[in-house]
Structure 1
Amino acid sequence: MTLTKKDIRKTYLARRLALGEEETASLNAALLDQCRTLDLGTPTFVHLFLPIAAKREVDTYPVADWLRAAYPGVQLVLSRSYLATGNMQHFRWDDQTRLVENAWGIPEPVSGRIVAPKDIDVVFVPMLAFDSAGHRVGYGKGMYDEFLRQCREDVRSIGLSLFPPLPGLIEDAYDGDVPMDTIVTPEQIYYFSAYK
């Protein structure tokens, strides 16, 4: 069974929006438990996204708390997105960081200490859905694919999804799509590379 990104995007966004508050909280708690079993090695910079609350994205604030506790030396990094150019700029996220919601409802840093993509060791990636080959479906802007291409070859990409893999492959995945190394769901972790 093959599925197009447009259909997947529509279906899985609707599925996520249909989740009740209790179910959403339960799925996020289970996903966090799975994250706690990850071995990230000794990262210096870990890039995280903050959720669009209106779209019921994975709640990454508890993930941030876990990262700070489990990896005391780690520097968390957040992005600011520029729709006009399709680019992202990356900043350290610390106690002085002021966050403001952008036009999409994403909490973003206003300013701060810039981090180059080549310096980032781990990237947690938002998604609506994914297939058994590790290809993800996002919102269709391609910004994370471009960002991941700017990172080092050995960067670890970890997708976070509230749902298991699609029942088939993404029909219109193409060479510009950057597949994930790892995807964490509430039920289990899927590995698509040597990371285990």
Structure 2
Amino acid sequence: MRSLLVVHNHPTAAERLESAASRQQLPEAVMRAAGYTVATARGEEQARQRIAEADALILDLPIPDIEAWSRSVLDWKVVPILWWCSEATATLSVEACEDGVMADGVLSASMRPTDIHWTLQFGAKQCFERQQWHLERRQLLAKIEERKWIDMAKGILCEVKNITETEAYDILRKQAMNERKRLVDVATSIVNVYNLLQEQKQGRTKR
């Protein structure tokens, strides 16, 4: 991990450029002194353009801004996201200190190069584990959604054919095999057709 992107998005970042001492405390100065290649962005458009080359993202922002930025960044590229804790960003974050923060680590100007190195390494690990959790969650939700359609289709077959759930499942499975489709796709088709017929039946009744 050698290439970093620093995002500034608040007025205090510009204010800190006024003195040489303040410039040395900026994340890009600290990270370059630690041996990293650093690009900067001062808005979403610049960040989107420059994220492709970055191995990690450092957000020099107040904590309340982190969630929205993190969600946007993850649509562009999966990278470790670290919060730059400075006097400015910490002061602007006091009221949000109890919030859940979508960040993989915290960096500050007081850290030594070895501290920075290991923070970035552990941040990368945290990022990977977070992505794995999100992937597993999406897969679980997808399975729950599939089970819902299959259960509805079984219920319809049980009602229409006056059969047991086991028999209904066997019908679904055999139809899926014969049509070379996924079980959930067959179940969805059955539910949609049944609902359409019910709507047509109700329409005729109203007339």
TM-score of the two chains, using structure 1 as the length reference: 0.35
Judging by fraction of residues, say which structure has more strand: 1
Which of the pair has the greater relative contact order for Cα pairs under 8 Å at 6+ separation? 1
TM-score of the two chains, using structure 2 as the length reference: 0.33
Q: Which structure's CA Rg is the greater one?
A: 2
Judging by fraction of residues, say which structure has more helix: 2
